[in-house]
Structure 1
Amino acid sequence: MEALLILGGVIGFVVAWIWLVFGSLRLGSRALLLAVLLPLVTPFLRDSAFARLPRILLLASLLCVGGGLWLLQQHQPEHFARLLSGQWHQQVPAGELQGTLMGQPFAPDNVYWRGDQLVFAETAGERVRRSLVVRFDGATRLLQGTAIDLLPGDDGPWPQMVLQWYTGALASPGLRRVASDYSLSLSLAPQGRDSADMVVHLHLPAEHRTRLTGRVTLAERPSWLGRSLTSTQRPAPPPEPAAPTPPPAGWQEVSLLAVLDEPEHFVGQRLRLVTIAGREYEGVLKAVTSERRLVLALPQGANQVDFQFHPVDIALIEVRPRI
Structure 2
Amino acid sequence: MDALLILGGLLLILAGLVWLVMRAFGTGLLWGWASLLPPLTLLYVLRHWRSARQALALSALGFIPLVVGLTLLASQDSQRLHALLSLQWLQPEVQALAELAIELHGELHGQPFAPQQGELLGTVLSLREGQDFFARRELVIRLPQPVTGALRLDVLPGDQGPLPEIEVIWLLPEQELPEARRLSHGYTLHLNLQPVPPNKLAGDFHLVLPARFKTTLSGRVELFSDGLRYRDGKVDRHVDSADTLAYVIEDYLQRRFATRAVQLGNLPALPLPADSLELSVDARVDGQAQRLPIRLNKSASRGWAVEADRFAPLAEPSAPQVEAAPVEAASSQSVSRPLDRRLRFSLEGLLRSPSRYENLAMRVSTARGSMAEGRFQGIDQQGRIVLRQRLSGSGAASYAWHPEEIGKIELLEP
Question: Which bin holds the TM-score, normalised by the shorter protein?
Answer: 0.3 to 0.5
Larger radius of gyration: 2
| Structure-1-length-normalised TM-score | 0.35
* TM-score normalized by the length of structure 2: 0.30
Q: Which has the higher contact order (CA 8 A, sep 6+)?
A: 1
